[in-house]
Structure 1
Amino acid sequence: MTGGHAITPETVSLRILAGGGMAGVWADLKPRFEQTSGHRLDLFFATTPNLIQEATSGRPFDAGIVPADVMQDPAARARFAPGATMEVARAGIGVAVRSGAPKPDIGTCEAFKTTLLKASSVATVPESATGYAIARVFERLGITEQMKSKTKAQPGPAQVVAIVASGEVELALFLVNVLTTPGLDVVGPFPPELQEDVVFAAALSADTKKASAAQALLAYLESPAGVAIIKSSGMTPG
């Protein structure tokens, strides 16, 4: 017996490509799905460019729950099963500071722009779906050039949290669900006029030999239990 389940021929290990912005969801969802299904999940977390690279590398995987930007890359999309993808979750982008630090005004577009220009430094993940959205916001505000020297690029969400929590960088700009964590105080979401939700979409691999088990995972994401986990992690289901 393993985890209350007998190992049977139907018990499989699924390799899943996963966007790092949903890591908090998976921390709870992975053990619950494994306990419920008897299957095991091998999660490959990465940013959008690295997920595209992994999907097109030829290495096998069974499904992806990834930023929709991944699915918009033709080469990556070809590695997934044809047909519509399933929208799993979405989250807005926000601002956070080190716990206890003063919270700047981001309530209007003009106040947000002023705060960004006054900040000594900001941390984000430029090479990610969230980073691409933030870059579009900078462009809309007309501050792309000014923000280049302030932006301290990080390789992933965990590093954004850590470098701002340590006080090394003043502002964290990332998905609000990721920023809601010990060590940071969330200032709030981007102003509505500038907000861009990052959507996470799911699809089976075109080459999976474990379609039944992989489909069970996607069904679990849409089940009441899966939806509750997504909501509790600060994301909006579907």
Structure 2
Amino acid sequence: MKLFSTLAVQGPLQAGLLEAWTGVPVRPSFDPTSVLVERIASGERPDVLIAIESELHRPEFSELIAVEDAIPLVRTGIGLAVRAGAPAPSITTVDDLVAALTGARSVAYSRSGASGIRFARLLDELGIANQVTTRATVLRKGFTATALLDGRADLAVQQLSELRVIAGVDVIGPLPEAVQHYTTFAVAPGPRPEAAQLARFLAAEENQAAYARFDLQPLPPIPPH
């Protein structure tokens, strides 16, 4: 069974959740939601999809899933990380955040990920886009914290759950609440009965601790009609 999933939940899925699944074997594939849209539009067909909840209404998904069958799964915010052991700037306030971003040698963010798209807008809102982007390390997709390990950047911005995946980095914390942006993800099964079973398993209450270890906040399932 093919599972297409956002990067945001790759950590808990690969750290034990999929191993705990006892049904039909699952072959997972991880990408930002925007890339999953492209892949499905090009003809790929997963059995189960985990994506940004608001994106499930896209026409690219209409023949693949029934939106009404989607189950709210988790949400997470955006955070910053440094290489393990490196000095960590304060990001408690918006002024602290501005100082950290403008003082960094290079900030890594993802061009196609939800966090990177929001971060680019935030730089404009804060009036520091030119200062930061001229020295930024921009990844098309993937985990931005990898740029800390190879020295391309000294700050990485991404969903907190994605920063937690990479060993050898320290997560400083979330953005200040005044500029924080939360993204909600849902799991949507295709028509196979096994797909619905997997979706319910991933959203089950007993798995909430697995998500919480990666700074993913579980959401209550949709009540029955």
* Offset at residue 176 of structure 1 (A): 1.5
**Per-residue Cα deviation, 1:44-75 (whole angstroms, up to 9, x for no partner):** 21122210012222222212011235325333
Equivalent AA in structure 1 for residue 194 of structure 2: A
Q: How does 1:34-73 map to 2 (within 5 A)?
A: 36-37=22-23, 39-68=24-53, 70-73=55-58
Could you tell me which of 171, 181, 200 is aligned with 1:186? Answer: 171
Contact kept in structure 2, 1:69 and 1:129, CA below 8 Å? no
**Per-residue Cα deviation, 1:91-150 (whole angstroms, up to 9, x for no partner):** 111111111111112111111112111111011112111211212221221222332212
* Offset at residue 219 of structure 1 (A): 0.9
**Per-residue Cα deviation, 1:209-230 (whole angstroms, up to 9, x for no partner):** x2x1111111112223322221
**Largest Rg, 1 or 2:** 1
After the TM superposition, which segments of 4 or more aligned residues of structure 1 sit over 4 Å from their partners?
none
- Structure 2, unmatched stretches of 5+, are 220-225
Tell me the matched-pair count: 217
Equivalent AA in structure 2 for residue 168 of structure 1: R
Q: C-alpha separation between the residues in 2 aligned to 1:72 and 1:147?
A: 34
- Taking only aligned residues, the RMSD between alpha carbons, in angstroms, comes to 1.9
Question: Who is 1:165 aligned against?
Answer: 149
Q: C-alpha separation between the residues in 2 aligned to 1:59 and 1:186?
A: 35
1:17 aligns with 2:4: yes
Q: C-alpha separation between the residues in 1 aligned to 2:62 and 2:127?
A: 33
* Offset at residue 32 of structure 1 (A): 0.7
Question: Who is 1:8 aligned against?
Answer: none
* Offset at residue 84 of structure 1 (A): 5.7
1:224 aligns with 2:205: yes
Identity of aligned residues (%): 26
* Offset at residue 233 of structure 1 (A): 2.8
Contact kept in structure 1, 2:77 and 2:181, CA below 8 Å? yes
Question: Who is 1:31 aligned against?
Answer: 19
Q: C-alpha separation between the residues in 1 aligned to 2:147 and 2:175?
A: 20
* Offset at residue 80 of structure 1 (A): 2.1
Q: TM-score scaled to structure 1, two decimals?
A: 0.83
Q: C-alpha separation between the residues in 2 aligned to 1:133 and 1:202?
A: 22
Q: C-alpha separation between the residues in 2 aligned to 1:165 and 1:72?
A: 37
Distance 1:42 1:144, change over 3 A: same
Q: C-alpha separation between the residues in 2 aligned to 1:127 and 1:40?
A: 29
* Offset at residue 77 of structure 1 (A): 4.5
